Chains A and B, each alone.
Chain A
Amino acid sequence: MTPELGQLALILALFLALAQSVLPLIGAWRGNRALMAVARPAATGQAVFVALAFAILVSAFLRFDFSVQYVADNSNLQLPWYYRIAAVWGAHEGSMLLWVLILNVWTVALTLFSRRLPDAFLARVLSVLGIISTGFLCFILFTSNPFARLLPMPPDGADLNPVLQDPGMTFHPPVLYMGYVGFSVAFAFSIAALLGGSMQQSWVRWARPWTNAAWGFLSCGIVAGSWWAYAELGWGGWWFWDPVENASFMPWLVGVALIHAQAVTEKRGSLRAWTILLSLFAFSLSLLGTFLVRSGILTSVHAFASDPRRGTFILCFLAVVVGGSLLLYALRAPKVAGGKAFALVSRESAILVGNLMFTVAAAMVMLGTLFPLLGDALNLGKISVGPPYFGLLFPLLMLPVVLLLPFGPYLRWGNSEAPMLKQVLVRAGIAAAACAVIAAFLVQGQLKAIAGVASAVWVGMGVVLYVLKRWRDMPRGRRYPAEMAGMLLAHFGVAIFLIGVLLSESLSVTRDVRLSPGQVATVGGYEFRFDGVTQATGPNWTAQQGVVTVTRNGAPVAVMHPQKRTYAHEQVQTTSAIDPGVTRDIYVALGEPMDPNHVEGAWALRLYTKPFVRWIWGGGLFMMLGGFVSAADRRFHVKREAEAAQTVTAVLQESQA
């Protein structure tokens, strides 16, 4: 009976979403306060029902209710409870439900924290979010019902894909969705601004904390996904330029551009149309990502079952939401370049160049991701586009960004003096060159590693110099406002990330070896001694577990236990052993016995040493932190009642006109 309640809750949520989309919009248009006032309760009600549906699905998993098709497909009696909860978003139907739930979380947060927004504006924002929610609720109810029954009820379910049975799976998708979906807020703000007309740029200040927070979540989600791929897939790689990864990376790149463009628009009034367009792009790319993943039109690691009906539905929805918003943009975007003028050497110019590079990078990722499809369409034959393509073009596009980065904080709005910039150039340049020379000796002339050290010091030095300057110049308490602290953290994250990527890419050593018990292999200065294979058991698997003792110059470093697990339904999954460290990871994956009949004999093992690989995720986490910290700036939250009142009058006058 309960699963049907879940479905009922979704239907009720759909009706509330419809009310939330239509009524406030009419209200804002006609200046009818009663209709506008529907938005808030409708949004809250919708969230309650979606949360209820979600809770019912969770409880179906916890109670092993295999009469629900989705539960039977994705869990079984041996699956531990935490993975049963994660299984809720382990496949298509549940992850769409999570998508809608998170959209509702953002909407409710918006109703709670935006009480000071003008009524008409908030009504339009909530209505846009309602439209998005309506689309996805329809999608769930008509094509992907997670509550469909399976009768007769099977005694046990199938297994959740073992790849997904990893701690990373419990938080990677929710956090990633928080980012994806979070861009819907900036999107809704832009649409509301377009609909409202003469809103000037005040909407941008309201949208900024939401954009920064969403981008922070997206950074965190991507880091989590990358970490999961590294730890779980057993290939030691952290980024594969896989279509699904690219789908999350495109909104991230556009998000970076958007965050900076919003700063320009808010503070100087320039780039208004561009900021609106970027807000539309960021969320459109999130939707595109959802489409690419859910329609299965591209082959990917994340090979979800594809269903043309679902693909068609999302495509139509995409056409309505994205096509509609871009049409609206064409009709209503500010036509005159407004805002304060700026000189060639100014923060605006630098941000524009950065915006260009990030947008082109996103376009490049999209082109590379969709090109195989274009190849089919134009009859160019089957073409693969992979890491060599992205790995060549992406760094080239990011090079100007890295070169400009240290100057960012020093550049002034409007017009900047050259001497200060020259000083930065000299100081950061000397530091980078000096460190590059030292590094050259340590890494035996590996160019990529030297470039990594130099670029990281270049970027990091710029940040550090600015931190010191503020410390000297400003009185306590006014040195680092949250918005600036966030920027500095994120920029510093870039330096850490550069170290991680370039050093680990150039200095990692990988070897496939065959070892008999007692034998030693030396990789990257570490001795790996294989001590045979034992048995291990977990809640729903048994494993052959290798024992590998790692030493360096005879001194013990770690004892590692790579596993080859066999899950309840005969699925085999290797689980690598990782000994983490700040300056290096040691990574061991267990292969097969060389002779299947003699597991006590020699085995194939893959041994890695990966210097500084952790800095990649460290850098990403700094960026995430930067997003969150700057979102928390008080400047975004203080009352601006006078201004708000003014805008309301303006809107009311306009809507009555």
Chain B
Amino acid sequence: MLQSLFDGILVGSILSLGAIGLTLIMHILRFANFSHAELISMGAYFTLTLDAVFTAFSRALASKLPMLSVSISLLLAMLAALLITGIAAAIIDRLVFKRLREQAGPLTMVFASFGIGLIIRNVIGLVYGLKSVHYNNDIAFAIMISSDPLLLVKADQLFILALTLLVMVSLHLFMSRTSVGFALKAISENPVLAQINGINLASMVRLAWLLGGALAAVAGVCYALNNQLSPVMGRDLVLSLFAAAIVGGIGSIYGAALGGLIVGLASSLALLVIPTGYKPAIPFLIILLVLYLRPNGLFGEER
């Protein structure tokens, strides 16, 4: 039970990061982006490549942080990868979604996002192979925090929790203390009025993609540290991300953060009563439940 709670919070915090970017785009551009989860895979795999590059440059970077299986080069690689993933997200928007926005409706963008997701997923498979890999092959030992009720925790998992918390606090400060953050909020709440006030829609859309891509990349690295990297990791997460965004209410950043935790906890606790094989279906049941009971989610406004 305690173990399930811990696992749920851990997975939930990773989902939160992915869902924040998804909900931002879903609100500002009014479409459900099914390729968002592929940004998670991209972030994780970019980090894998950059980590190898950095360690090749200097062996000193390969030294591990105390207790963790995370090396300095992996941290540097993650920082670079989140920038690259953000830029990649903005480029995909520029090449595909922007043009579809101009010539067709939001559902055409949903349609295209499925196609883009399929392409990215399989290109990753071609480049990196179909087998799953790890950032490093050392066995990370779990520390027994308590034996009854059982709670096993790996140092890496505490690192993931600290990292996600740090990212979310920084995001909160950015959104609530900076003028750019205000502008982003304004454009998502009322695009027309915000533009009258001199906020540039195109640059805010770009910012949303950069932010969404960067958050997804962090989520990808955390997920890969906790599980492993595989070309289908994004596809496995996409429904949970949508569940988190819908539970929180589309457009609400805090809702998405909370929604991620709720979906993570619910999926983890549900496995206490239902067989593991049905795990992929749990987010769907959550979505259906929310849509029937409270279609606007916890913090979403009616539209």
A and B: bona fide binding partners: no
